[in-house]
Amino acid sequence: MSYETLPLDVTDVPRNQPADPSTVARWRTLGARGLDLLFPWCCVHCDGEIRPSERGSANDYLCLPCRGHLTFSPLELCRSCGGPLTGGASESCRLGGGEAVEDDGNLGFGQCSRCVDRQRAGMPSSLDGVLWSWVYASPISTAVTAMKFRGLDYLADKMAASALDHVHDRLPVVDAIVPVPLHWSRRWARGYDQAELLAVGLSRRLGLARERWLRRARRTSAQSLLNETERRANLASAFRLRRKARPQGRRILLVDDVITTGATLEAAAGALKNGGATQIFALAVARTPQPEELFEL
């Protein structure tokens, strides 16, 4: 038996037609809902569900109720320690014993009485300004802990974005962004350096170079276990410039996750100033309130 081969008319072959946009949108919606069922989007603080309408902002790692408990920094901060100044503190924050007693026109950064006394005693600060976004308390403390110790490194980029939103209008002009580095052993154990990830996020949004000019010369004891005097002694000579570092004549934004006493930032800034940097400003996600400060949390 033989078969006759018929000529193929190419006009009879159906051509690919573009999909109906509404159909594509429906499939995407169904896919998103399916992913939400399999992998629900949860708040890193309370584990509550974050609804689709609550997503899309830099703070979408927290649910709306938890976002309502964030306490933002006041506008006026001491340029040396980052403490709130009485004259410019917001209603949610007031400071006892840290009145603004000096402001030399340094980009609006004043100085508290405690830091002025330290400067008069021959211990001037290497920092020219300190900015931070939130008081280190729930829920931001839970999010920072998750970023550092639960492997949720993606939170660093979101925190960089939301921190920048809060301080952008007060951010001074700088030439480079430098993260406060972990010791190599802690970075190896954790798998990443959270301050460096924050610096990467800021660098991308500000269009500035992120420079790894600092290194930890030695592994220091955990700062969380020490008082202020012990912290400063613990960090003495802890930071060194890398061989290829070029901070000479630069205005630098020093980046870290949390400020407690400011000893870490001070030590890192000192190393950069000794290397020839002209100005050092610091930016952190959050700051731990000191005993003399009263925050309405």
Residue 274 falls inside a structural domain: yes
Q: Cα separations (Å) of 285 from 78, 161, 194, 266? A: 16, 10, 11, 16
Q: What is the pLDDT of residue 76?
A: 87
Q: Are 238 and 149 found together in one domain?
A: yes
Q: What is the pLDDT of residue 90?
A: 36
Residue 189's H or E segment, with its range, is helix 184-190
pLDDT digits 0-9 by tens, 136-161: 999 999 999 999 999 999 999 999 99
Q: Are 136 and 231 found together in one domain?
A: yes
Q: Are 273 and 150 found together in one domain?
A: yes
CATH number at residue 163: 3.40.50.2020
Report the SS3 class of residue 121. coil
Q: What is the pLDDT of residue 296?
A: 47
Q: What is the pLDDT of residue 222?
A: 63
> Length of the chain, please?
297
Q: Are 135 and 271 found together in one domain?
A: yes
pLDDT digits 0-9 by tens, 53-111: 888 888 899 999 999 999 999 888 898 889 888 644 333 333 333 444 444 444 456 88
Q: Which residue segment(s) compose the domain that 61 sits in?
A: 25-66
What is the count of structural domains for the chain?
2
Give the pLDDT means over successive 10-residue stretches in the chain (297 positions).
48 48 48 50 89 85 93 89 67 36 49 86 90 95 95 94 91 96 92 96 96 86 62 73 94 96 91 95 93 59
Alpha carbon distance 141, 136 (integer Å)? 5
The torsion of the CA quartet 113, 114, 115, 120, rounded to 10 degrees, works out to 80
- Other beta carbons within 10 angstroms of residue 70's beta carbon come to 19
Structure tokens at 231: 């912290």
Residue 113 falls inside a structural domain: no
pTM over 0.85: no
